[in-house]
Structure 1
């Protein structure tokens, strides 16, 4: 990895494949992702005052969450995913942390990151309920908490996230009616930009709300592997942007809505196996 380093040349660091610099030669980007790094993140990174982009993902860091990035005042993007980090997520830092071994509850300090747009904490070992403080993250567009051990219902705090595009809560132990935050027209207006809703592999029960068919931007709806009952709402078949519909492995009854495929021209994938549906497949 260091073979291309030429320390004797002035400004050599700016020509290293994993470094980006501004016109003054200050390091603004450091991205040695997937390069086989083994060991802790050096404290010297904290001295890069102009560093805005740090990506050390998919390496073997083997430590608790590093503190060096705390001192990078210009930092805008941080990705430490798939790096074997362990322990609890600290009370004073933020995003790009999926695919590690963090445990404990999701820290409330994330609520201070008011400009946060992307939060991926998936594939860790977080426990407890989804925190209510997410309501303060008004700019968030991507929220992924899947593949953890989260419990409880979907919190009402998600109602106000009007910039949210992608919500993934798959493979947890969440319960309650599904999804309660889609039962209100006011909340639906707040979620008008939602394109991806992934709630598979939980313990949700009850009927699929008819109001879910009023999300105009929704492209992918994954509700499989839950305990849903009742019929598939006809309104889902009228979603104008829907491409993927996955409702398999529930206890749904009735027939497939005839609207499927007629009023949703973008629809390309439907999975409803392992239910209790009857009747003919709509033409």
Structure 2
């Protein structure tokens, strides 16, 4: 039989094995990357800690520096930089810089901790035209001075007074334009301040003079407070146009005050029993439009002094001297007040004869309760002849009408 031949086995061809990198080498590279990342993170952490320590140290330094400043005397506070130097060179004294920093850092969160006793004299000495190229510094100075000026009112008030002010938001923050009785203009300057008992100071503080943008000031006390004299710094309120002092125990106004307050057009003095009976002579040089003095005594020549003022003759529109113990006849010079539209002389001790003429511009006249005014008023004479007169009240006097006398009411 033929021999069966075994099939020949052919070996299978396999692709060559790929070479894999050593595992140790791969792990080594991974560890290197992790180590670099850890080093970078540690470095960032160290830098962050250093930065935080720097900020903390700087804040502590500022607090200590400002709180330990020596209180200023009446001499210029920053000897190292006079106001003239600061204005021309744009360089603030170190004390002023610290006060600015303190106001920006701590005052917003703790307004009562701000050291006004040391910072107010420092910052108020900086000229209003100061500029260091940073408008924020000038605004901060103005804000801090005004804040301290208002806070001095709060600190001078009694317990009930402080409670009343605190209820109106006072000294709870540094946003003083939102405090009750305070109104600011578009530049952040306090333009109007109204204080009514019990929310009034025991006396008018010196720091109130820092409110140099103030145009309207009204203080209504309880006849006992505020007391004392107006501080000399009051003359710094040169923007003031309206001053209203009622029911206070303030003493006589300095005779020269209105030489500085030359923009005042309205003066109201009511029930200030300790103010004396003389009006400041500087008042008669003002372009005053409204003068109201009620419930406090005036000298018998007060009306004559007013009518003889060349300035008041052309500017005065309202004159109210009711309940001021005026005596004697109304001066004939009353007719020289050519701009006068209202004249109120009620509850005095005026006597006849009446002046032959009153201002032709007069629209309102009241002479009530002047019991010593007697006699007949003829039609076409005195106030009966005024064509513009709309209101006229002479009740409570001994005057009578002899014929028609316009709108006048007689007893």
TM over 0.5: yes
Q: Give the one of 248, 252, 255 matched to 1:129.
A: 252
Q: CA RMSD in A?
A: 3.1
**Cα distance change, pair 232–188 in 1 and its aligned pair in 2 (3 A):** farther
Give the whole-Å Cα distance in 1 for the aligned partners of 2:179 and 2:341: 29
**Cα distance change, pair 206–102 in 1 and its aligned pair in 2 (3 A):** same
**Cα distance change, pair 275–120 in 1 and its aligned pair in 2 (3 A):** same
Give the whole-Å Cα distance in 1 for the aligned partners of 2:338 and 2:383: 16
User: Is residue 197–residue 222 contact of structure 1 (8 Å, CA) maintained in 2?
Assistant: yes
After TM superposition, the structure 1 = structure 2 runs for residues 4-23 of structure 1, keeping only pairs within 5 Å, are none
Instruction: Write out per-residue CA displacement over residues 178-216 of structure 1, whole angstroms, 9 at most, x where no aligned residue.
Output: 4132342xx134441211111101122222111111212
**Unmatched 5+ stretches in structure 1:** 1-27, 29-36, 59-68
Instruction: Write out per-residue CA displacement over residues 83-139 of structure 1, whole angstroms, 9 at most, x where no aligned residue.
Output: 53241122342652332342223444322211211111123333x334311232211
Q: Matched residue pairs, number?
A: 226
The residue aligned with 1:115 is 239
Q: Are residue 142 (structure 1) and residue 262 (structure 2) matched?
A: no
Aligned partner of residue 172 in structure 1, secondary structure: coil
The residue aligned with 2:368 is 248
**Cα distance change, pair 281–105 in 1 and its aligned pair in 2 (3 A):** farther
The residue aligned with 1:201 is 323
Farther-moved stretch of structure 1 (77-86 vs 268-277):
77-86
**Cα distance change, pair 75–168 in 1 and its aligned pair in 2 (3 A):** same
Give the whole-Å Cα distance in 2 for the aligned partners of 1:216 and 1:176: 22
**Cα distance change, pair 131–222 in 1 and its aligned pair in 2 (3 A):** farther
TM-score normalised by L of structure 1:
0.68
Give the structure with the larger strand fraction.
1
Give the whole-Å Cα distance in 2 for the aligned partners of 1:256 and 1:107: 48
Instruction: Give the drift of 1:276.
Output: 3.1
TM-score normalised by L of structure 2:
0.49
Instruction: Write out per-residue CA displacement over residues 31-57 of structure 1, whole angstroms, 9 at most, x where no aligned residue.
Output: xxxxxx945253355x34xx7x56623
Instruction: Give the drift of 1:248.
Output: 1.8
User: Is residue 153–residue 174 contact of structure 1 (8 Å, CA) maintained in 2?
Assistant: yes
After TM superposition, the structure 1 = structure 2 runs for residues 56-75 of structure 1, keeping only pairs within 5 Å, are 56-57=180-181, 74-75=189-190
